[in-house]
Amino acid sequence: SSELTQDPAVSVALGQTVRITCQGDSLRSYYTTWYQQKPGQAPILVIYGENNRPSGIPDRFSASSSGNTASLTITGAQAEDEADYYCHSRDTGGKHYVFGTGTKVTVL
Amino acid sequence: QVQLVQSGAEVRKPGASVKVSCKTSGYTFTSHDINWVRQATGQGLEWMGWMNPNTGDTGYAQKFQGRVTMTRDTSISTAYMELSSLRSEDTAVYYCARDLGYCSGGSCSNWFDPWGQGTLVTVTS
């Protein structure tokens, strides 16, 4: 399968920890990338490679992976983390890309 | 700094075509693939295809095969995405993004960074 499945929505209390998961067969072979998208804005890169953050992304964002499931964890969620998050990887054939279905994170 | 600046919003009738541009700056245009991604209102991200600006090679998602063409003009560091036979379901924001990546220990990683600001294409009769 070339699909990446995410939970549609999760909520987290301010300052608490939330984990977003992404499932797909291709994740066994390729690293997962994570993007954050706020309303009306283009996506921005949050995590790439094994667990790398671009300059400017807070260290409360981290990633892990096991088997066909990748996870993005926000430790100590802040109000500004409220956004949609998408996972991204190659498809099982390796020649094309696929995005996850997206998870809306609400910070309470 | 690296920037991808896209052309402005477009309105088209069903059956028509649209061509969106993505002007790059701040890096060597021919060194990294350009990908196109679209997003309908309230929906998720949908990958459309990639283009190698150095060779002109392309790869398209099966859904868009036969309707999408990705090209470039290396003299002005600009990539283009043309979508034909438009229908109402093609109404969306279209993004270009630079493709970066590496392989390590037998596993590979690719990521899109940065993204253009997006171009709204509206298909309406």
**pLDDT tier, A1 (very low <50, low <70, confident <90, very high otherwise):** very low
- B44 to A95: CB separation less than 8 angstroms, yes or no: no
Residue B83 has a pLDDT of: 98
A45 touches chain B (CB under 8 A): yes
Q: Chain B, 11-70: which have a CB under 8 Å from a chain A CB?
A: 35, 37, 44-47, 50, 59, 61
At a CB cut-off of 8 Å and minimum separation 6, what does B74 contact? B29, B30, B53
Rounded CA gap, B32 and B91, in Å? 28
- Determine contact, residues A101/A8, Cβ cutoff 8 Å: yes
B118 touches chain A (CB under 8 A): yes
Q: What are phi and psi of B62, to 5 degrees?
A: -55, -35
Residue A2 has a pLDDT of: 64
The string of pLDDT tens digits covering residues B10-63 is 999 999 999 999 999 999 999 999 999 999 999 999 999 999 999 999 999 999
Chain A residues inside the 8 Å CB shell of B108: 30-31, 90
Cα A94 from chain centre: 20
- B112 to A42: CB separation less than 8 angstroms, yes or no: no
- A102 to B45: CB separation less than 8 angstroms, yes or no: yes
The string of pLDDT tens digits covering residues B70-112 is 999 999 999 999 999 999 999 999 999 999 998 877 778 899 9
